[in-house]
Amino acid sequence: MNVTSATDTTSSTSSTSSTSTTSSNSVDYNTFLQLLIAEMKNQDPTNPMDTSQYMSQFAQLSTVEQATLTNSKLDSLLSSQALTQADGLIGHNVSFTDSTGATFTGKIASVSINSDGSVATLEDGTKVAVGPGLTLS
């Protein structure tokens, strides 16, 4: 829900206002950790706010850290799997139909892995995206 000022008279001002509000409300992992650690540093250790809240904050910190570590391990696992699949494609014959309807056949010489996916290069230099519509033999 977007709330604008009662004095706003133009729609461009209200859209600018809602955009800045949205960007300031997002908190990333590092900002969350900085806020949590700053709060813990500034507490009186002899009189913390509440034991259950204090332990809850430690649990949140641990949960966020473990989730981040899990994501990085999953990323490396996916990269490893993509390399294994790419290695298995080299030397296979492939056939595919491009967007114009022309059919191509050739032997895969190399495979590159980009952020968009895998791209196979045939022996004749033709590049084809590895995905639906590709037939290996």
* List of domains in the chain: 14-82 (no CATH), 90-136 (2.30.30)
3-state secondary structure of 10: coil
CA dist 93 → 12, 90, 110, 117, 120 (Å): 57, 9, 12, 20, 11
Write out the chain's pLDDT in tens, 137 residues: 444 444 444 444 444 444 444 444 556 667 777 877 887 788 777 776 676 776 787 788 778 888 888 998 998 898 888 888 888 888 888 888 877 888 888 898 888 888 777 888 888 888 888 878 778 88
Q: Kindly report the three-state secondary structure assignment for every residue of 57-118.
A: HHHHHHHHHHHHHHHHHHHHHHHHHHHHHHHHHCCCEEEEECCCCCEEEEEEEEEEEECCEE
The number of residues making up the chain comes to 137
CA-CA-CA-CA torsion for 117, 122, 126, 128, nearest 10 degrees?
-30
3-state secondary structure of 54: helix
Determine the pLDDT at residue 18: 43
Measure CA 136 to chain center: 30
